[in-house]
Chain A
Amino acid sequence: MKRSSLFVMQLLFTLLVCAFMLVPVLMSLLAGLTRNFFVGVSSGLTFDWLIQVWQAYSPTVWLSLQLAVACAVCVCVIGVPAAYALVRMNNRFSRAFEELMVLPVAMPGLASALALLLTYGQFGTFRSSWLFILVGHVLFTLPFLVRPVMAVMQRQQLPVLEEAAASLGAGLIKRFFSVVVPNCRAGILAGVLMVVTLSLGEFNLTWMLHTPMTKTLPVGLADSYASARLEIASAYTLIFLLMIVPLLVALQAISARLSRGERR
């Protein structure tokens, strides 16, 4: 049948595209577990590379996690009130500010990092601490939280809910925490998910901002690609995936449950 042959062709094409994208990932994972990649799988499988990576680079993993969590907290603390203010103001100034906020995303990370270095590089202690990288990450990830939170705030009938809370005696701060934040949970969570993911994988900015004492996982990865065996670098990728995939799945599940709850 004509239709079924078309279907088979479409299926083949889809599978081909999937394979094109997935095979390199699988190859990389396999490389991290192979005793000698140039000989092939016949040389045997091993966890040695993973252990070596962990011994050499485990501080970068912890630093990356620490940065991601700190970044998410900072972005929440800055971003949620900022989104609220932008939605409430809704004038030319607030729209201009929204555009301005996206600038670090549009700009090459290296350029933003250079700007930070030029401005704050002279403060030695700050420059050499992990907080310097945190500033870069917060700048870069802020719009990824503010945007979805603003979208949720605009969709909800927040102004009326706030008026209701005010009529019951709630002042601005109280209203923000008891009405605005709980009703924007889905947006905040989606934003946090995005921010954590971006912060964990951020390379451009971080590469410029890091010091030998403040290497994050992606920076360490680049380091190992440049200086160590291919198997080490691949094992490193494997560790990164082991770390980020469960995180992504967990956060996705939470946000799915939340949005289901809100539709009901």
Chain B
Amino acid sequence: MTAITIRLKGCRKAFADGTVAVHDLNLTVEGGETLAILGPSGCGKTTTLRLIAGLESPDVGQVFFGDQDVTRLPIERRDVGMVFQNYALFPNLDVAGNIVYGLKIRGMSAPERNKRCEELLELVGLQQHGKRSIHELSGGQRQRVALARALAPRPKVLLLDEPLAALDAQLRERLRSELDQLLRGLGITSVFVTHDQGEAMALGDRILVMEQGRVAQLASPREIYQQPANAFVAGFVGNLNAFSVLEHTPDGVKVSGGELPWHAADRPATVYCRPEHLRVMEGEGHLHGHLLAQFFQGAQSRLLVDVGGAQPLLVDSSDNQLHAVGAPIALAVAPHMLFTLNA
């Protein structure tokens, strides 16, 4: 089975109260790709997923699965598998009953259904749990049952709405890597919605960052992080230090606290860098300031350094050396780690 391509052509969706959830969205999800839709709440990411699913139909525009126009098809005829935020498992059915629900609807015979059910229980590691009631399952197990149920009828497309949001942090991490392996193994076209940038980075082949119903950026996780399209994207995926340029010099830019290396031809008014790209130096550095606070975070520590700018700089340092509050701090940055942004 070749994986199917999903295309949205100029899709717009407004709600009854007039707010536009999605503005003229054009999007192609390649066959077999995992696309993460990332954004703050209310950015239209869930609506986009529901447009693909067929739970909403666009006011304007078309949705294609491969060459087929599915815009007017309701979800039950689109052949999609969907994992809902709170799993939406049927409480009146046991685990196996939930998994075979879609197979029953398709009229599969009982022996075939049972065989497929066993396959899926094994796939998600719940072999002995077929007869369990939904109420007896932990959050992680429910998530797996929801996934197995969605995958059972071999859908063309897998859609996941905040699939890990309802789990605690440790379990989330583990299930994230399991989900990653599973999606890669299946080679199915999948789209998932998340507000967690870590999840998007880990699972997505590409990430669609949305802002107020529009595409802010659609690119690989690496690109999103290292070359964010604008200040919104940069701020949403990770933290950011902004330097207002005071003066351009032949080999750099003067900013509060010192001078940064800048060799590009353009003359930006602001340059940016990520907290982990600022290095604490023993002696000389590009910037000089003093420590406001240090937060120990286990593998690394975060420093707040005042260099006289509008806001203190965030520095993520992995050396875990403790500095006294108020101590002078010298910071250096590699030239290629500085970037500019379109507003």
Which A residues are closer than 8 A to B by beta carbons? 157, 160-161, 163-171, 174, 178-179, 182-183, 185, 262, 264
Contact = CB atoms under 8 A, between A and B. Distances in A.
Interface of B: 53, 55, 74-77, 79-82, 84, 86, 88-92, 101-102, 105-106, 133, 135, 149-150, 153, 159
6 contacts: A163-B82, A167-B75, A168-B81, A168-B153, A170-B101, A179-B92
A160 B149 CA distance: 15
B105 A160 contact: no
A264 B135 contact: yes
B82 A164 contact: yes
Contacts of B79: 169
A165 B101 contact: yes
B150 A167 contact: yes
B272 to A, nearest CB: 41
Contacts of A165: 90, 101
A166 B102 CA distance: 9
Contacts of B81: 167-168
A46 B212 CA distance: 84
B135 A160 contact: no
B133 A169 contact: no
A163 B89 CA distance: 11
Contacts of B149: 164, 168
A262 B75 contact: no
Given A168-B105, A170-B105, A183 B76 contact: no
A157 B88 contact: yes
B116 to A, nearest CB: 13
A171 B76 contact: yes
A168 B88 contact: no
Given A183-B92, A264-B133, A163 B75 contact: yes
Contacts of B82: 163-164, 167
B75 A166 contact: yes
A128 to B, nearest CB: 44
A131 B90 CA distance: 39
B153 A182 contact: no
A178 B84 CA distance: 19
Main DSSP-derived SS at the A contact region: helix
Contacts of B92: 179, 182-183, 185
Given A167-B82, A183-B92, 14 more contacts: A160-B84, A163-B55, A163-B88, A164-B90, A167-B75, A168-B105, A168-B150, A169-B153, A170-B76, A170-B105, A171-B76, A179-B92, A182-B90, A262-B91
Nearest to A167: B82
A163 B92 CA distance: 16
A169 B101 CA distance: 9
Contacts of B135: 264
Contacts of A167: 53, 55, 75-76, 80-82, 150, 159
Contacts of A182: 90, 92
A182 B105 CA distance: 16
B106 to A, nearest CB: 6
Contacts of A185: 92
A182 B80 CA distance: 24
B79 to A, nearest CB: 8
A94 B184 CA distance: 48
A182 B55 CA distance: 23
B102 A169 contact: yes
Interface-central residue, A169, A178, A179, A182, by most chain B CB under 10 Å: A169
Contacts of B80: 167
Contacts of A170: 76, 101, 105
A168 B82 CA distance: 8
B76 to A, nearest CB: 5
A-B complex: 9 closest residue pairs judged by Cβ atoms = A168-B102, A182-B92, A164-B88, A167-B82, A169-B105, A160-B88, A166-B76, A166-B75, A169-B76
Contacts of B89: 164
A82 B176 CA distance: 43
A161 to B, nearest CB: 5
A174 B104 CA distance: 11
Nearest to A171: B76
B313 to A, nearest CB: 45
A102 to B, nearest CB: 29
B154 to A, nearest CB: 12
Contacts of B102: 168-169
